[in-house]
Amino acid sequence: MGRRRAPELYRAPFPLYALRVEPSTGLLITAGGGGASKTGIKNGVHFLQLEQIGGALSASLLHSHDTETRATMNLALAGSILAAGQDASCQLLQFRPQEQETCDKQDNEGSQEQGPRQRKGTGATAETQETGASIQREGVELNVENLQSVQTDFGSDPLQKTVCFNHDNTLLATGGTDGFVRVWQVPSLEKVLEFKAHDGEIEDLTLGPDDKMVTAGWDFKACVWQRDQLVTGLRWDENLPPLPDTPYRYQACRFGWVPDQPAGLRLFTVQIPHKRLRRPPPCYLTAWDGHNFLPLRTQPCGNEVISCLSVSESGTFLGLGTVTGSVAIYVSFSLQRLYYLREAHGIVVTDVAFMPEQGRGRELLGAHEAALFSVAVDSRCRLHLLPIRRSVPVWLLLLLCAGLIILAILLLQSAFPGFL
């Protein structure tokens, strides 16, 4: 019997590093590339339309946006605006889906990239502009426009490693190899704040609904900030038994809501061994109170080094990718694993993202409780589905218990007459 495989949703013509899902339209946005090296590997952002066909989720290419010599390494999404980390800069893109009554068909105009399937019976119009190409499918056109761009990192080998919008999408925070957090107005990208957060690279950052910021750095620290003022440092291991003599660093951090609690907020972090050992120690997953930042629960999450983390829209599930290509889904309350696929990609998983549970996402989920997308350097986007968990109603459990008690009494009465 062969090993279980996750469905391959599509394959890009370049390595993939980042993805996001737009909830209202069901657009899957992936990005990557080969960088500035002259290898012939292109750089771009692909917009894919998700749809249910024959009970299965599929994706078709709606638009391919050329990013010239810059590969996109990280993404953040705010409505119709994308923030794309490209080398040491952040590029804002705006996309607008438009319904068209007719689609002009132009044949034999330039070469077309190989990518995901094309919808049957439709033509494609490619239109090269400064802002990229425009591809139309079945009367739908997606226009993508380059907005502002700004350099966000100034290290000796500058690279923007993470980007995040705030809760109302008016500000954008970036972090990179120089250890500075920089906050920018949207969409003008005027700098409003800059401060040194870590000695060394910033690996990840996230913004909460009250604009508190959490940063994770290569200096083994994770810090909570209110603007440029340090609120507290996180200590994930202070209530744990002694760990192996191996330094750990924070790899990822994400805020998430508490299901069925409107004011409930959690912070989730991943801790990985700083050094690669022959017999690797486990990585750890920690849930924190999102208001006072005290650790609530910590669980080991395997010996494969975690590369990325995602939290579902409702805060119910956590998605993890590893450097060896494996993908896992955990339940956020107990940090117990519900799904695991070893070496789904066979190479480092660069990003994971859940299907939104509101908007068109609920329709696309179908008979599944959650859908997690993963991308990797192997150019593939894979789909991981979590079936709806069947639960027994409380009233039925009580009825069964009462029935068992009555049955036990009857058996005792028949075995020992006069028992009652």
- Taking the C-alpha atoms of residue 385 and residue 369, their distance in angstroms, rounded to an integer, is 8
Q: Which residues pair with 16 in a beta bridge?
A: 32
Query: Could you confirm whether domain 8-98+141-392 is CATH 1.20.1250.20?
Result: no
Q: CB of 65 within 8 A of CB of 45?
A: yes
Strands of 336-341's sheet, edge to edge? 306-311, 317-322, 327-331, 336-341
- Per mean pLDDT, which range of 104-118, 200-214, 272-286 is the poorest? 104-118
Asked if 217 and 206 count as a contact pair (C-beta separation under 8 A), the reply is no
Given a cut of 60, whether residue 111 has pLDDT beyond it is no
Is the model's pLDDT at 125 over the cut of 70?
no
Q: For residue 304, what pLDDT is reported?
A: 95
Q: Which of residues 89 and 388 earns the better pLDDT score?
A: 89
**392 or 416: which leads in pLDDT:** 416
Whose tokens are 């603007």? That residue is 227
| Average pLDDT rounded to a whole number, residues 182-206 | 97
The encoded tokens of residue 17 equal 């590093």
pLDDT at 57 over 50: yes
pLDDT tier at 104, thresholds 50, 70, 90: very low
Q: Which of 162-166, 274-278, 347-351 has the lowest mean pLDDT?
A: 274-278
Closest C-alpha among 190, 182, 170 to residue 81 = 170
In this prediction, residue 280 carries a pLDDT of 84
**Comparison of pLDDT for 295 and 53, the residue scoring more:** 295
| Residue 107: per-residue pLDDT | 45
Higher-scoring residue by pLDDT: 139, 47:
47
Indicate whether 37 pLDDT > 90: no
Return the amino acid letter for 157: D
161 touches 173 (CB < 8 A): no
Domain layout of the chain by residue ranges: 8-98+141-392, 393-419
pLDDT confidence bin for 106, thresholds 50/70/90:
very low
Given this model, what pLDDT does residue 130 score? 37
Residue holding tokens 């409702």?
Answer: 314
**Share of residues in the chain with pLDDT > 70 (%):** 86
Res. 122: pLDDT tops 50: no
Q: What is the overall mean pLDDT for the chain?
A: 87
- Give the tokens for residue 205: 């950052």
Cα separation of 111 and 100, whole Å?
24
pLDDT given at position 407 = 81
Please report the pLDDT score of residue 102 as a whole number.
44
Show the CA angle centred on residue 317, arms to residues 349 and 361, nearest 5°.
85
pLDDT in tens, 131-156: 333 344 455 688 999 999 999 999 99
pLDDT of amino acid 132: 38
